[in-house]
Structure 1
Amino acid sequence: MRHGGRTALVTGGARGIGLEMCRQLAAQGLRVLVGARGREAAEEACRAIGPAALPLALDVTSAKSVTEAVREATGLTGGIDVLVNNAGVSLDRELRPPYVDEDILRATLDTNLTGAWRMAEVVVPGMVEAGYGRVVNVTSSYGSLALMDSGRHPAYRISKASLNALTRMLAAELSGTGVLVNAADPGWTRSGMGGPSAPRGPAEGADTPVWLATLPEGDETTGRLFADRRPLPW
């Protein structure tokens, strides 16, 4: 219960890895806001997690929804100390570069990149004012330029590479404020996106994001990408 009194907001928190992140954060003593596009899904997740969880209707593709949800969350809890940008989509078909499906590209970027950016824009100023914050962007090794060896899933890869860039820029901008910004690759995990044949369970996939979300005060780890709590190259 070492994090008692802190509040975490997890986007895409009603199922899969996001739900497990909420469970693990609540187990460490945080109050958890479960963000989901449908309030009923968020409420069902909260019943599974327990009294430390609160439902939050939140669509990261809508600036209006983000603003209203964060206003509601702040009213309920007094402030947000931890932001986990977990909401994401993988919509790619079999097309590979140089071919592009612009509708899929736009939809993928709107959730995976711009959605996280919207959340940071609204949440981070309160963290800076408080002198404490943890931002975790859930990414993928598919977005690592150093590891990119295929054109498969191009829109997804581009979105995650861009999210990695946002992670580094935010971390640099917030240096010295007490707000740490890192990216976590959960690995191929059984979930709605990963599918039932993935080798990892949600608990294993949630471990690294939760670890980064709960870095202790005084820790200076920021602007980095991790998998299994070990650094990955950008």
Structure 2
Amino acid sequence: MESTQKKRALITGGNRGIGLAIAQGLAAKGYEVIITSRSLDNAQQAAAKLQSKVIPIELDVTDDRSINQVVETLRQQIDQLDVLINNAGIYPDDGINILTISRELLDSTMNANAFGPIRMVQAFLPLLAKSPDARVINVSSGYGALEDLSADVPSYCLSKLALNGATIMLAQALHSKGIVVNSVCPGWVRTDMGGASAPRSPEQGADTAIWLATDAPRNINGKFLRDRQVVSF
């Protein structure tokens, strides 16, 4: 019966760090999880760590052909998607600032961190629209808040600022379809990106995203959250 069907969640960049912690948290809540990575082998290795039904799949969010192929593949396996978590991203700003960064690096970071999530929502909209409780969570950063922009982290800050703006616009555009869209700051987390000195574990970084995907009130929409609280964009 439809009412007993497990909910499904897709997490981009779900093979490590915060993405894997989100996948583990949702699997523990009974969700069927789809883990994507730019490497199928990495996605499969991550899937093996979860003691539940997991679909590992290769996906590059900067490549529309890759996104479209994944949609076509998954449409043969699933009839709806309940949660889309846009977690994949890059942080390439070491040793540069807003005065030295190249157009090429700005392009590549914006493409991965902001345009990728927009295209994911567009491509998966038919599957999301079939869910009675569809939720989209964009994993952003405090660096994407206006008050925390840093000239020393130029492409990452601008891409997350754009992602937060896209969150507002996607929530507006999808409101009539009953699809909730929010962005989340996971905090400074011990990952390959965050480094070993970060104060938060991946599980702590994943908590708000998991909550937004599952139990958060649906009237929280088009917002930016940290530690389950709405904060300023």
TM-score (structure 1 length as normaliser):
0.93
Unaligned runs of 5+ in 1: none
Name the structure 1 match of 2:221.
222
Instruction: Say if 1:108 and 1:3 are closer, same or farther in 2 by CA, change over 3 A.
Output: farther
Name the structure 2 match of 1:40.
41
Matching of residue 188 in structure 1 with residue 188 in structure 2: yes
Counterpart secondary structure, 1:76: coil
Deviations 1:87-110 (A, max 9, x none): 000001333233332221111011
Name the structure 1 match of 2:148.
148
Deviations 1:128-173 (A, max 9, x none): 244431000000011111x225312011000000000000000011
In the TM superposition, 1:46-65 aligns within 5 A as 46-65=47-66
Asked whether the 8 Å contact 1:190–1:196 carries over to 2, the reply is: yes
C-alpha separation between the residues in 2 aligned to 1:4 and 1:215? 17
Counterpart secondary structure, 1:199: coil
Name the structure 2 match of 1:22.
23
C-alpha separation between the residues in 1 aligned to 2:202 and 2:4? 22
Matching of residue 9 in structure 1 with residue 5 in structure 2: no
C-alpha separation between the residues in 2 aligned to 1:129 and 1:30? 16
In the TM superposition, 1:203-218 aligns within 5 A as 203-215=203-215
Counterpart secondary structure, 2:129: helix
Instruction: Tell me how many residue pairs correspond in the alignment.
Output: 231
Name the structure 1 match of 2:119.
118
Identity %: 37
C-alpha separation between the residues in 2 aligned to 1:74 and 1:62? 19
C-alpha separation between the residues in 1 aligned to 2:210 and 2:230? 15
C-alpha separation between the residues in 1 aligned to 2:49 and 2:131? 31
Name the structure 1 match of 2:100.
99
Note the C-alpha offset of 1:219: 2.3
Instruction: Say if 1:199 and 1:77 are closer, same or farther in 2 by CA, change over 3 A.
Output: same
Note the C-alpha offset of 1:192: 1.1
Asked whether the 8 Å contact 1:16–1:202 carries over to 2, the reply is: yes
Asked whether the 8 Å contact 1:94–1:153 carries over to 2, the reply is: no
Instruction: Say if 1:220 and 1:104 are closer, same or farther in 2 by CA, change over 3 A.
Output: same
C-alpha separation between the residues in 2 aligned to 1:163 and 1:118? 12
Q: Which amino acid aligns with 1:225?
A: F
C-alpha separation between the residues in 2 aligned to 1:176 and 1:215? 21
Q: Which amino acid aligns with 1:233?
A: S
Q: How large is the RMSD of aligned CA atoms in angstroms?
A: 1.7
